[in-house]
Chains A and B, each alone.
Chain A
Amino acid sequence: MSAGDLIAGVQWFFLAYFVGLNLAYITLNVVSLRAIGKDADARASFLLPRFFSGLEPPISLLVPAYNEQAIIASSIRSLLQLEYPGFEVVVVNDGSRDETLEVLKREFQLVPFPEAYRVSIPTRPVRGIYRSLAHRNLRVVDKENGGKADALNAGVNAARYPLVCAVDADSVLQRDSLERVVRPFLEDPDVIACGGTIRIANGCRVSEGFMEEVGMPRSWLARIQIVEYLRAFLFGRMGWSPMNAMLIVSGAFGLFRRTVVVEVGGYRTDTVGEDMELVTRLHLRYRSAGKAYRIPFVPDPICWTEAPESLRVLRSQRMRWQRGLLESLTLNRALLFHPRGGAPGWLAFPVLVLFEAMGPLIEVAGYGFMIATWILGWVSWQGFAAFLLAAVALGLVLSASALLLEEMSFRLYRKPGHLGALLVAMVLENFGYRQLTAWWRMRAIFRWVFGGSGQWGVMTRSAAWQAAAQAKKPVPENGGAVAAEGVLPPPTG
């Protein structure tokens, strides 16, 4: 074989990979189009008057908190105002080194509570449990630091109700978020977990912890992430849901049956992607046991989170997500082509491995190869331009179809200017942003493979969020002090 044949072979490989990747996502997109159509029907049910009978399953909201003194009080206050007949809030202070516990004690009149604490899932030692004199449905578990997953496990242990909902302290909810996300549990007894759409809060107006008005951030970085999130949720998850193959329920807001979480041993503490890992493990356990189960997706926007607006925080976030993805997949590799794996094992898992876990490597290698061969004169400028055009245009199709899905369903970005901004962001994304995130993700793969200790980025939050919430002003674009930590990940596209 000559060098020319080899180069041609490599070119065909990259082309086939890009086309395969995009075909897979376009297929998901088509499934989503159908599912969104059906869901539009179901959403019409919200034309029915809303009423609670008191027979709805009560929910324990679990809020892990580590150094959240700036936002914890307003977050908990908003959670306590959710519209749902029966719920409790269990805040888990995961050994914060700041004033998180003191703020909670002061703001909610906490008193020590002699709870006969059950250890259904082992965790780091619990130092004390408090209950609020002001809100009977609020308890705080104070424990030694063990990470988010450990804190969630402590929350599961302390939960009193059959459904547990993991909520990030910085999540912004809608008053009816619980009502919406619990719907699949009411309609199907086989539902064991359920996730909803996470949207980006930057530029929106938030009042007392609730979303008041959807807006458009000024930062183009955040705008591009809006397009990314639309892709990730409206067809990334919506597409897998009808096949019961959704491998991710976002850690920012996900509802689980408590008994199921306990049964599988809770969240794993040795991964940064504990939310995805748990869901993938649930698929594996239920599939291999041949038990009936369903993990559906509610496309309604039920939770809003702040997106990074600085490249430094964005890099850190994306590298964490990539590592979380790799860990979740390797820890549950038994699901891949498992004889009873069904759609999760035979479709979703391989797609994630091929296009999300390995995707950045091939994407970066593809760009590098084409640039190198062009510089060396092995490829004509026409060939190079055609390759670039295909790479960009295939990305554009996916982003445009995500916008179409949004237009067909929720139309949250109502102003014509918002739509225009998203159309521009959809194009801009392909010139630099996409390549940069692929590069970061590739670095995360290398760091994970070669076991470097690595710096996965310390996520810090400012008090700006709370201040904005209190002042009823648009969420400030804070230059990246705030990161959406728990939302793993928006792969797809």
Chain B
Amino acid sequence: MASVADSDRMVFAVAVVGLGSLALTVAIALQVLFMRYRTGWRERRRATVLAEWRPLLFGWIVGEDPPLPALAAADEEAFLLLWNHIQDGVLGEARARLRQVGRRVGAHRMARSRLERKHAVGRLLALRTLGYLGLEADYPDVARWLDDRRTYLCVAAARALVQIAPGRASGDLLPRLARRVDWPVALFATILAEADPDATAHHFREVVRGLPREPLVRLLPLVTVLDGRTINDIVGDLLATSSDAEVLSAALKRAESPHLLRHIRTACGHADWVVRTQASAALGRVGEIADRELLLRLLCDPSWWVRYRAAQALLSGRFGGPAEVAAATQALGDRFAHDILDQVRAETAR
């Protein structure tokens, strides 16, 4: 029986699978060990560069003029990492002096050559370095990376462009930001905050004009980096012309001026609860005492969030003292209105 069940073919097949797998395991384990050795060597080398260059760069920052040693090609990446890292933490004169060191050591050449290599860290370092070096001539080559599919390279390029040309960059960034859903708006808000405000306001107006709903809603939070007048104009336009609930609620979130009150009051009666929620919150920011009745009505809204925002607005102090608001709420005879007011009162109590 054994001769049939335990056929040579079977044993051979199993042994081949086993030995093959064993050989593969050994190969992988050796690869792991080799990688570990290589990484260890690199890390030791990087530590040497840091130990040598850190005091030199800090010396330059504080106005000393220590001689700069030659930099081996293998140490360039470690140097660029350190140089960029220190740049992140300094401003003004110190940044300018570091820029000077960078130029002397050849950071520009290092960055330009890394920009063309197929290595993520190298490219990223290159873009960051070119940004800190701030040479207008590099603008077109850096701008090219805005169209890369990798978000992080776009972010690095965007920041570099703002550093190179604060007045020009927003014109290149905003139209792409509208198209690229992978570009995190929150991050770009920080980047654009460093750009020229007038130019950003101008380009923002241009971009949002005629933008379809989805990108418009996505881009609207960016108004936080604009000046108040521009925000009011843009938000006012949207509140007056749009009937889309998402656009309206996004615009209401940014409504910070009493000039928009007429639109905000209208939005309080919108059929969509999301719009009513944002309208209540906006009234809490810019409403007048005359809006108390409107907010008391919203306090009885079927949606929890509308009631919550209305209660927060009512207790913001703009619509009378807490006792006055409590009495008005009591008069409504609505248990839900009463409960939500209690909650918000407890939240704001110290």
Interface locus among A51-59, A244-252, A329-337, A342-350: A51-59
Q: How far is the CA of A382 from the CA of B307 in the complex (A)?
A: 77
Q: Which chain B positions have C-beta within 8 A of A458?
A: none
Query: Is residue A371 contacting chain B, with contact meaning CB distance below 8 A?
Result: no
Within 8 A of B (CB), among A235-261: none
Residue contact A48 to B25, C-beta cutoff 8 Å? no
The 8 A CB mask of B9-49 against A (1 = contact, 0 = none) is 01101110111111011001101110110010000000000
Residue contact A44 to B152, C-beta cutoff 8 Å? yes
Q: Which chain A positions have C-beta within 8 A of B14?
A: 15, 383, 386-387, 389-390
Query: Is residue B113 contacting chain A, with contact meaning CB distance below 8 A?
Result: no
Interface locus among B52-60, B63-71, B97-105, B342-350: B342-350
Given contacts A5-B4, A378-B5, are A394 and B32 in contact (CB under 8 A)? no
Residue contact A55 to B224, C-beta cutoff 8 Å? yes
Residue contact B308 to A400, C-beta cutoff 8 Å? no
Given contacts A8-B5, A377-B2, are A389 and B22 in contact (CB under 8 A)? yes
Q: How far is the CA of A373 from the CA of B152 in the complex (A)?
A: 58
Q: Which chain A positions have C-beta within 8 A of B130?
A: none
Q: Which chain B positions have C-beta within 8 A of A213?
A: none
Interface locus among B168-176, B181-189, B236-244, B276-284: B181-189
Q: Which chain B positions have C-beta within 8 A of A396?
A: 21-22, 25
Query: Is residue A403 contacting chain B, with contact meaning CB distance below 8 A?
Result: yes
Given contacts A45-B124, A116-B308, are A379 and B18 in contact (CB under 8 A)? no
Query: Is residue B117 contacting chain A, with contact meaning CB distance below 8 A?
Result: no
Residue contact A382 to B152, C-beta cutoff 8 Å? no
Residue contact B190 to A53, C-beta cutoff 8 Å? yes
Residue of A8, A22, A42 contacting most chain B CB atoms (<10 Å): A8
Query: Is residue B1 contacting chain A, with contact meaning CB distance below 8 A?
Result: yes
Query: Is residue A365 contacting chain B, with contact meaning CB distance below 8 A?
Result: no
Within 8 A of B (CB), among A383-410: 383, 386-387, 389-394, 396-397, 400-401, 403-404, 407-408
The 8 A CB mask of B124-147 against A (1 = contact, 0 = none) is 110010000000000000000000
Query: Is residue A446 contacting chain B, with contact meaning CB distance below 8 A?
Result: no
Within 8 A of B (CB), among A30-77: 40-42, 44-45, 47-49, 51-56
Q: Which chain A positions have C-beta within 8 A of B340?
A: 116
Residue contact A383 to B1, C-beta cutoff 8 Å? no
Query: Is residue B156 contacting chain A, with contact meaning CB distance below 8 A?
Result: yes
DSSP class of B's interface residues: helix, strand, loop or mixed? helix
For the complex formed, measure the closest distance between the CB of A3 and the CB atoms of chain B, giving whole angstroms.
Answer: 6
Residue contact B151 to A187, C-beta cutoff 8 Å? yes
Query: Is residue B155 contacting chain A, with contact meaning CB distance below 8 A?
Result: yes
A interface residue count range (under 10 / 10 to 19 / 20 to 34 / 35 or more): 35 or more
Query: Is residue A4 contacting chain B, with contact meaning CB distance below 8 A?
Result: yes
Query: Is residue A270 contacting chain B, with contact meaning CB distance below 8 A?
Result: no
8 Å CB contact of A11 from B5, B24, B88, B181: B5
Residue contact B186 to A186, C-beta cutoff 8 Å? yes
Q: Which chain B positions have C-beta within 8 A of A52?
A: 186, 190
Q: How far is the CA of A391 from the CA of B11 in the complex (A)?
A: 13
Query: Is residue B7 contacting chain A, with contact meaning CB distance below 8 A?
Result: yes
Residue contact B11 to A48, C-beta cutoff 8 Å? no
Question: Which residue from chain A places its CB closest to the CB of B20 in the assembled complex?
Answer: A393
Q: Which chain A positions have C-beta within 8 A of B185?
A: 55, 186
Within 8 A of A (CB), among B150-199: 150-152, 155-156, 159, 181-187, 189-190, 193
For the complex formed, measure the closest distance between the CB of B178 and the CB atoms of chain A, giving whole angstroms.
Answer: 14
For the complex formed, measure the closest distance between the CB of B43 and the CB atoms of chain A, giving whole angstroms.
Answer: 9
Residue contact B22 to A48, C-beta cutoff 8 Å? no
Within 8 A of B (CB), among A1-39: 2-5, 7-8, 11-12, 15, 19, 22
For the complex formed, measure the closest distance between the CB of A447 and the CB atoms of chain B, giving whole angstroms.
Answer: 32
Residue contact B5 to A379, C-beta cutoff 8 Å? yes
Q: Which chain B positions have C-beta within 8 A of A290?
A: none
8 Å CB contact of A45 from B155, B307, B339, B343: B155
Q: How far is the CA of A15 from the CA of B3 in the complex (A)?
A: 18
For the complex formed, measure the closest distance between the CB of A59 and the CB atoms of chain B, giving whole angstroms.
Answer: 13
Question: Which residue from chain B places its CB closest to the CB of A14 in the assembled complex?
Answer: B14
For the complex formed, measure the closest distance between the CB of B124 and the CB atoms of chain A, giving whole angstroms.
Answer: 5
Q: How far is the CA of A100 from the CA of B237 in the complex (A)?
A: 53
Given contacts A55-B185, A116-B340, A186-B186, are A4 and B124 in contact (CB under 8 A)? no
Residue contact A53 to B189, C-beta cutoff 8 Å? yes
Q: Which chain B positions have C-beta within 8 A of A8?
A: 4-7, 10
Residue contact B120 to A397, C-beta cutoff 8 Å? no
Question: Which residue from chain A places its CB closest to the CB of B188 in the assembled complex?
Answer: A53
Residue contact A40 to B22, C-beta cutoff 8 Å? no
Closest 3 CB pairs of A and B: A4-B4, A45-B152, A389-B18
Q: List 26 A-B contacts (CB under 8 A).
A: A4-B2, A8-B4, A15-B14, A44-B121, A45-B152, A45-B155, A53-B186, A55-B185, A56-B186, A113-B346, A116-B307, A116-B308, A116-B336, A118-B304, A186-B185, A187-B151, A187-B181, A187-B183, A373-B5, A378-B6, A379-B2, A389-B22, A393-B20, A401-B28, A404-B32, A407-B35
Name A's B-contacting residues (CB within 8 A). 2-5, 7-8, 11-12, 15, 19, 22, 40-42, 44-45, 47-49, 51-56, 113-116, 118, 131, 186-189, 373, 377-380, 382-383, 386-387, 389-394, 396-397, 400-401, 403-404, 407-408, 411, 416, 419, 423
Besides A397-B25, A404-B32, A419-B33, 15 more A-B contacts (Cβ < 8 Å) are A3-B5, A4-B4, A7-B4, A48-B155, A52-B186, A53-B224, A54-B224, A116-B339, A116-B343, A186-B184, A389-B15, A393-B19, A397-B21, A400-B32, A407-B36
